[in-house]
Structure 1
Amino acid sequence: MQYFHQILRDLAARLIPAIVLVVFVSISPNAAAALVQVTAFGTTLNLPNSLPTGTVVSRYTIPLSQLCSWSPCEVTAISLWPNGGSAISNGPLIQTTVSGISARLLVNGQPTTMFNIGNNKTRVNSPLEVQLVRDERPLSAGSLAGQQGGNPSYFYVCTSTDGDTTGQMCMSNKNGLAIALSATVKLINGTCSTPDQSVMLSKIVLEKFKGVGSTGDQSGTKGFNLQFNNCPPSFARVSYELSPIGGALPAIVGALPVAGGSTAKGVAIQITDTNGTPAKFNQRFALSAYNSSTGGSYTIPMNARYIQTAATITPGTISGMMSVLVDYQ
């Protein structure tokens, strides 16, 4: 019989509130049919006033189908405009009109800098993403709306079609996307406290496992609570995400990567709900009990258990870790 133990640790709270993002193009009426116009609804962005520098505070995704209606989708030029104003920037991070908040555009999952028509085209294989990032300026409330009149844009993305290999149509406002930010930032004092935890599973004999995917018996299952303490009121919603720490995830849903220093093989630690349904990692779930009027403390009961991951199990000790990432909107 061997000892197995699992560590549940909250490393950090990633704060990912909602952003109101308007995608528009300023064109003449006779060109409107050639463009895709996208609007994300919403008016307010609630942020904790204690956001650390470098935190991604909000994300917005633009599907590839809304960038290009043809394949392959190729970007011929991108320009970045701090504050939605008249001065261009190389980026990738540009300031917004709200002190303490900057923005960046991700293409193929990577922050992009400015590039011009005439350079090599970039083939886009995944959705665009706009991120708001806490910068080093003092954080304040305010509007993200740009400085120019009308609907100012922070990013312009030019795309090519079969008949437009240079992207000149974008420069004449006939093809491409203009991305604007429009939300009022409000600051809220405080965040939920998510304490560190260690969960120790009981020892279990190897004979309890019957093959890959087996979990032994109930003696190898340990209950614990995700804890969200002293959450302040006034957020529209609080959500959480379970993020595994370590190497590659096992093929079995809900199983944590085996942490360094473990000596057992062919077995992992699986996180489930109280009904035994495996946890889904890297997905956002609402803290449904959160009360925006009163705030408060909340718990979500979970289980940790062994699960066999290979045909042969080597006795030893094993540990796994995950962080609880908290989103505020």
Structure 2
Amino acid sequence: MQQFHQTLRNLAARLIPAIALIVFVSISPKAAALVQVTAFGATLNLPNSLPAGSVISRHTIPLSQLCSSPPCEVTSISLWPNGGGATLGGPLIQTNVPGISTRLLVNGQPATLFNIGNNKTMVKSPLEVQLVRDERSLSAGSLSGQQGGNPSYFYVCTPTIGDYAGNMCMSNKNGLAIALSATVKLVNGTCSTPDQSVVLTKMVLEKFKGVGSTGDPSGTKGFNLRFNNCPPSFARISYELSPTGGPLPAIPGALPVAGGSTATGVAIQITDTSGTPAKFNQRFTLSAYNSSTGGSYTIPMNARYIQTAATITPGTISGMMSVLMDYQ
């Protein structure tokens, strides 16, 4: 957890047709076809210490694979644990790898088993398949399903002309069949990301010149994101900066003002060393990571004051963010 704080002090501040012909046309949003999609790749390298509830990996499926013209009508969804057997309600179903379950996100929400007959739902955003660490002991293995020639974990059914219900897409061949792939391998250990506190120097109010101003350059403090003792064998390591403590200010890179702060109209902004504001809640690859050797790595960053309102009142200000890690 990165913590940032410091003190401010106040020093100043018509045609009629002969024939009318009306034609009713029924148009399917997608030709009748069952499209097979496979989520994830050949290998997933995972730390063996992942806690239950962790989202291990995500696979996005564009709506263009479900229908030709989004939003897409969906008439049923079925969930098949282990890529075979009997359906379950979900939203979380087990995979063939002990310790790993999967779920399907539809319109950003975990999908459950449903068959809605002549009704429909509209899907407006890409589908997402997630792998999630469950309570079982984690072991290596293959995610591939067990259901013969069509080992899918999820079926997302769309309507066809003459069969609007579309609730049997496995036989009627309309919709998406989503299979899982990848061999899961376990790696012993993860990177450590130590807690640190960054203290900025004092800044006087007269140094700020309006919303977005950052005061005197002397108020900028450098620090390093530290990734220590990363083990070898991961294909890729990524990280994400996650602000803590409340809604984000409108200014890019500015942290939420933490509880206990007494100053107003100002926040702490995180930037790279060139002054470009940090992007929060986005995944970035730790490009220096060496899969063969592992090692320790640093990413230099800056913290600085930034004015967020027309008026600033003096006092103390602090903000926090976490560094979230993703291993593949």
- TM-score range relative to shorter protein: 0.7 to 0.9
- Alpha-carbon distance, 1:120 to partner: 4.2
How many residue pairs match? The answer is 303
Kept after mapping to 1: 8 A contact 2:31/2:160: no
2:70/2:123 contact within 8 Å kept: no
Look up the equivalent residue of 1:236 and give its one-letter code: A
User: Alpha carbons of 1:163 and 1:301: their partners in 2 closer, same or farther (altered >3 Å)?
Assistant: farther
Offset of residue 289 of structure 1:
1.1
Q: 1:150 to 1:90 in 2, by over 3 A?
A: same
- With normalisation by structure 1, the TM-score equals 0.87
> Does structure 2 retain, via aligned residues, the 8 Å contact 1:271–1:305?
yes
Output the amino acid matched with 2:304: R
In 2: Cα distance, 1:95 partner to 1:245 partner: 32
Structure 1 residues 84 and 316, CA, compared in 2 at 3 Å: closer, same or farther? same
Q: How far 1:303 sits from its partner (Å)? A: 0.3
d(CA) in 2 for partners of 1:169, 1:97 = 25
User: 1:63-113: per-residue Cα shift (whole Å, max 9, x none)?
Assistant: 122222134412110100000012111111111000000111111111111
Give the partner amino acid of 2:206.
Answer: E
Distance 1:217 1:161 in 2: 65
Q: Deviations over 1:192-217 (max 9, x none)?
A: 00001111111100010111111011
Distance, in Å, in 2 between the alignment partners of 1:224 and 1:105 is 39
Distance 2:78 2:168 in 1: 15
Correspondence for 1:213: 212
Shift in CA distance, 46/156, structure 1 to aligned 2, threshold 3 Å? same
Q: Distance in 1 between matches of 2:34 and 2:118?
A: 24
- How do 1:31-46 residues align onto structure 2 when only pairs under 5 Å count? 34-39=33-38, 42-46=41-45
1:28 maps to none
Cα deviation for residue 5 of structure 1 reads 4.2
Partner of 2:106: 107
Q: Paired residue for 1:84?
A: 83
Contact in 1 for aligned 2:52/2:134 (Cα 8 Å): yes
1:174, CA displacement in angstroms?
Answer: 2.5
CA contact (8 A) 1:103 1:131 kept: yes
Which has the larger Rg?
2
Distance apart, 1:37 and its partner CA: 4.8
The whole-number CA distance in structure 1 between the counterparts of 2:33 and 2:237 is 39
Query: Partner of 2:275 in structure 1?
Result: 276
Does structure 1 retain, via aligned residues, the 8 Å contact 2:83–2:152? yes
Aligned position for 2:129: 130
- Relative distance call for 1:71 and 1:161 in structure 2 (3 A) is farther
SS of 1:300's partner is: strand
**Which residue pairs with 2:63 in the alignment?**
64
**SS state at 1:320 partner:** strand
Give CA-to-partner distance per residue, 1:103-158, whole Å, 9 cap, x none.
Answer: 11111111111001327422212111111111111110000001122340000001
Choose between structure 1 and 2: higher strand proportion: 2
Q: Distance in 1 between matches of 2:145 and 2:212?
A: 54
Shift of 1:243: 0.9
Post-superposition offset of 1:184: 0.2
RMSD, matched Cα? 2.1
* Mapped partners of 2:104, 2:118: distance in 1: 19
Per the TM alignment, residue 42 of structure 1 is displaced from its structure 2 partner at its CA by 2.7
Name the CA shift for 1:297/1:249 in 2 (closer, same or farther; >3 Å): same
Question: Which 5+ residue runs of structure 1 have no aligned equivalent?
Answer: 8-30
Flag the 1:39–1:317 CA change in 2: closer, same or farther, 3 A: same
Give 5+ residue unaligned stretches, structure 2. 7-29
Residues 5 and 318 of structure 2 are in contact (CA less than 8 Å); yes or no, is this contact kept in structure 1?
A: yes
Q: Is the 8 A contact 2:226 2:296 kept in 1?
A: yes
User: Partner of 2:200 in structure 1?
Assistant: 201
Cα–Cα, structure 1 residues 73 and 34, in superposed 2: closer, same or farther, change >3 Å? same
